[in-house]
Structure formats: structure tokens, C-alpha cells
Amino acid sequence: MKRLLPVMFAALLGCVGCDQVTKQVAIRWLRDKPTTSYLADTFRLTYIENRGAFLGLGSDWPDWGRYLAFSIVSLALVVGSLVFTFNQVRALRPADALTTRSAPAWGAMLLAAGGVGNLIDRFTRDGAVVDFMNMGIGSLRTGIFNVADVQIMVGVGMIVLWHNQSPRSAAQSDSSVSTAPDGTPPADPPSPEKPPTPTEQPDEPEHR
């Protein structure tokens, strides 16, 4: 499946590029502007520079703690996701490229892309990440996030769904071997017929 690796790499670059373009648009059009809402306040655009993790976790940590947790650890996770993607792609058969068997590889690629997108912000914006989207209904709302965060969440979801379905798929494949298509168990194979035993013929009387 070496042919899939260039496709994965191109998709990763496209995801990172999409994240960076949307952040530049947010900087250009949303910074220092009031929050705008759409779809009956279900979707909001609001600009912040987040120095913490998702939902602002760790934003009040000291600089060295944030750098260690959100830069070094994130870089290690990106490298690990790329290695995992490479190993998954190598294990795929050509027929599995667009099936659910490739879900963990695509999910890890999205994880790596989202991590790279946020790492670019960390290294170029003094440890801050540009966030600008928010969703919810009434008081039940998400944190403020960006496109890279969406990629990370989708990637995690793909890996989790694949992990939960793979044992079920294995069980179904085993049951399909032990049952017929209509759900009935296969009949026992016929036992080999025994050769008929020769019967003794009565002796014919002698004719004189």
C-alpha cells in the first residue's frame, strides 16, 4: 500500500493548510470585533488567542509548564500519530484502502494534521492558538475551537469507532463460517458409507 502514503501526505498538507487559512481569515476579520451568531445562536464566531489547551485548560500555568505540556508533548503526539499512520498503511491490502479497515490510518492522519496546525500557532504566536468557533444551544455550549480541533476530534472518533467495531466484525466473520447464509447451522458432513458385507450363500446340493 505504498501508493496510499502520498495520498495520506497530500491530505495531511491539505488539512493543515485549511486550518491555517481559516485562522488567517479569523485574524483578518474577527479580531477586535464583537461576537457574531448564526442559525438562531447555534453557531458563533468569536476571536480569542488561547494559551491553554482545549477549553482553555492550563491557560494560567507558568510559561515553562505550558511550553512543556502543549509544545513538547504535542510534538511527540504528532510524531507518534505519523508513525502509527505509516504502520497502518503498510499493513493494509490494496482492496482495503477505502474500507473501514483504513479508518485508523485516516484517523491518525487527522490527529497529526490537527496537532501540526496547532503547533504552528504555538511556535509562531508565543504559545497561543487562534480559536474562533463556538457551537451550542442556549447555555449548553462547546468551548471555542478551530479547524485543527475539529480534525483532532474526528480523528479520535474514527479510531474509537474502528476499535469498537473490529471485535464485532471478527465475531461476525467467525459466525458466518459456522452458519449458513439463511442463519441455520451447516449440516454435518455425511459419513463415508461402509462397504456392504458379503452374505454367505447356502451350499448348493450335490447332484448325482
d(CA 132, CA 22): 9
Find the mean pLDDT for residues 39-61: 83
Instruction: Specify which of 50-59, 97-106, 195-204 reaches the highest per-range mean pLDDT.
Output: 97-106
* pTM for the full predicted model: 0.76
Whether 186 is covered by a domain: the verdict is no
Whether 33 is covered by a domain: the verdict is yes
Whether 10 is covered by a domain: the verdict is yes
Total count of domains within the chain:
1
How does the average pLDDT of the chain come out, rounded?
A: 82
Whether 34 is covered by a domain: the verdict is yes
Domain coverage including residue 96: 4-164
Whether 57 is covered by a domain: the verdict is yes
d(CA 155, CA 100): 13
Whether 205 is covered by a domain: the verdict is no
**Is the pLDDT at 170 greater than 50, yes or no?**
no
pLDDT in tens, 102-115: 899 999 999 999 99
Whether 96 is covered by a domain: the verdict is yes
**Is the pLDDT at 99 greater than 80, yes or no?**
no
Find the mean pLDDT for residues 93-103: 79
d(CA 104, CA 153): 13
Whether 15 is covered by a domain: the verdict is yes
Question: For the stretch 111-132, what's the b/e string if a residue is b when 16 or more beta carbons lie within 10 angstroms of its beta carbon?
Answer: bbbbbbbbbbbbeeeebbbbbb
